[in-house]
Amino acid sequence: MGRISRPCRGCVEHSRLTASSVRFEGDAIVITGQCLCGAVRYRIDAEPISSRACWCRLCQYIGAGSATVNVGFLSAALQVEGVLRDYESIADSGNRMHRRFCPACGTHLFSAAEARPRFVFVRAGTLDDREIARPVATIWTSAAPSWACIDATLPRVPEQPLPLG
Ligand SMILES: [Zn+2]
Ligand SMILES: [Zn+2]
């Protein structure tokens, strides 16, 4: 239990991410999650880099009409058990994206840009502890419908934000 406090290469968003119930093994952080049916489980031995709510058109399909909340991690820290399917497409940003989901229950768990394999984005709803996923910004607000509930206290980015790194 503890608060995430170590710096992560100057990421300005990081200092706003706090974790009320992140599990530690010794000094190491352990983040876990799974799909709806449990056929896919994962663990991440790293701190989150950022979390953002995304209203891009594609996320509205995945999010059943709402934004998705996506937590960025170093992909090298992710270990997955179970079989995933990969849906490949070109995002609104122009990036070729891989979106991986459980073929049994359809839950989307991960997305990654082909151009930036160092990073993986985890769908916040699959985390065992969703408290670590509090977004620090809302992105692609230009694609949101007029009735979208967008947190007025967070910075808004109309389209694609700058990449994590
Ligand atoms: Zn599943
Ligand atoms: Zn999106």
Residue 9 lies in a domain: no
Q: Is the pLDDT of residue 6 over 80?
A: no
Q: Is the pLDDT of residue 15 over 90?
A: no
Tokens coding 6 = 């170590």
Q: Is the pLDDT of residue 121 over 60?
A: yes
Burial class, 154, CB count within 10 angstroms (exposed 0-12 / middle 13-18 / buried 19+) = middle
Of the ligands numbered here, which is closest to the C-alpha atom of 62? 2
Residue 6 lies in a domain: no
Q: How far apart are CA 43 and CA 23, in angstroms?
A: 11
**Are the CB atoms for 73 and 48 separated by under 8 Å?**
yes
Cβ contacts of residue 81 below 8 Å, gap of 6+?
40, 41, 42
Distance 41 CA to ligand 1 centre (A): 9
Distance 147 CA to ligand 2 centre (A): 17
Expressed as residue numbers, the domain containing 97 is 14-145+153-157
H or E segment to which residue 58 belongs: helix 57-62
Q: Is the pLDDT of residue 13 over 50?
A: no
Distance 81 CA to ligand 1 centre (A): 11
**pLDDT digits 0-9 by tens, 41-97:** 999 999 999 999 999 999 999 999 999 999 999 999 999 999 999 999 987 678 899
Residue 31 lies in a domain: yes
Nearest residue to 48 (alpha-carbon basis) of 115, 142, 133: 133
**Are the CB atoms for 39 and 82 separated by under 8 Å?**
yes
Distance 93 CA to ligand 2 centre (A): 9
Of the ligands numbered here, which is closest to the C-alpha atom of 109? 1
Residue 7 lies in a domain: no
Report how many domains make up the chain: 1
Distance 25 CA to ligand 2 centre (A): 32
Q: Note the pLDDT of residue 28.
A: 81
Q: Note the pLDDT of residue 4.
A: 44
Find the CATH number of the domain harbouring 64. Answer: 3.90.1590.10
Q: What's the pTM value of the predicted model, to 2 decimals?
A: 0.83
Of the ligands numbered here, which is closest to the C-alpha atom of 38? 1
**Are the CB atoms for 59 and 108 separated by under 8 Å?**
no
Residue 19 lies in a domain: yes
The CA-CA-CA angle for residues 105, 93, 113, to 5°, reads 55
Q: Which bin fits 104, alpha (ψ -120 to 50), beta or left (φ > 0)?
A: alpha
Residue 54 lies in a domain: yes
Q: Note the pLDDT of residue 22.
A: 61
Distance 14 CA to ligand 1 centre (A): 30
